Amino acid sequence: MSVEIRSPREDELRDYLRVVRYVFSMSMLEDDQDKRAKWQFDPERAVCAFVDGELVSTFGAYDFTVQLNGTPVPLAGVTNVGTLPGFRGRGFVRELVTQGLADARERGESCSMLWASFGGIYQRFGYGLASALVKYQWDPRYGQLTGAPSAGGSMAIVTLSEGREIAEQVHGEYVRPRNLMIVRGERDWQGIFEPESFQTKYQRMAIYRNAAGEPRGFMLLRNRDEEDALEPGPNQFLTVNDFTALDVDAYRGMWEFLASHDLVREVTMERVPEDDPAALMLLEPRTLHRRTGDAMWLRVADAELALGQRPYGAAGTLTLRVVDEICDWNAGTYHIESDGVESRVKRVDADADLVVPVERLSQLISGYASASELSRLDLIEVGDASVLSTVDAMFATAYRPFCQDGF
CATH superfamily of 301-394: SCP2 sterol-binding domain (3.30.1050.10)
pLDDT at 224: 84
pLDDT at 147: 85
| Under 8 Å between Cβ of 45 and 92 | no
pLDDT at 192: 83
CA trace torsion 113, 114, 115, 118 (10° rounding): -110
Phi-psi region of 152 (alpha: psi -120 to 50; beta: other; left: phi over 0): left
Question: Of all helices (H) and strands (E), which one includes residue 128?
Answer: strand 128-129
| Under 8 Å between Cβ of 394 and 314 | yes
What does the alpha-carbon distance between residue 319 and residue 373 come to, in Å, rounded to a whole number?
18
pLDDT at 274: 96
- Which residues pair with residue 74 across a beta bridge? 65
Helix H, strand E, coil C: the string for 200-229 is: CCCEEEEEEECCCCCEEEEEEEEEEECCCC
Domain(s) of CATH 3.40.630.30: residues in the chain: 3-109, 134-294
Could you give the 3-state DSSP secondary structure of residue 400? coil
b/e map 331-368, b = 16+ CB within 10 Å: ebbbbbebeeeebebeeeeeebbbebbbbbbbbbbbbb
CATH class of 134-294: alpha beta
What does the alpha-carbon distance between residue 29 and residue 21 come to, in Å, rounded to a whole number?
10
Burial of 212 (0-12, 13-18, 19+ CB in 10 A): exposed
What does the alpha-carbon distance between residue 31 and residue 29 come to, in Å, rounded to a whole number?
5
What does the alpha-carbon distance between residue 60 and residue 44 come to, in Å, rounded to a whole number?
9
SS3 of the chain: helix, strand, coil, percent, to 5:
30, 35, 35
Out of 1.10.760.10, 3.40.50.150, 3.40.630.30, 3.40.190.10, select the CATH number for domain 3-109: 3.40.630.30
What's the pTM value of the predicted model, to 2 decimals? 0.91
Q: List, as one string, the DSSP characters of 144-207.
A: PBSSS---S-EEEEE-HHHHHHHHHHHHHHHHTT-SSEE---HHHHHHHHS--STTTTTEEEEE
| Under 8 Å between Cβ of 323 and 356 | yes
pLDDT at 27: 64
Q: For 152, how many CA atoms within 13 A lie in the half-sphere containing its CB?
A: 3
pLDDT at 204: 93
Listed as ranges, residues in the chain with pLDDT below 50 are 29, 197-198
Degrees to nearest 5, angle at CA 398 with 396 and 402:
100
Burial of 70 (0-12, 13-18, 19+ CB in 10 A): middle
pLDDT at 271: 93
Could you give the 3-state DSSP secondary structure of residue 375? helix
| Under 8 Å between Cβ of 242 and 218 | yes
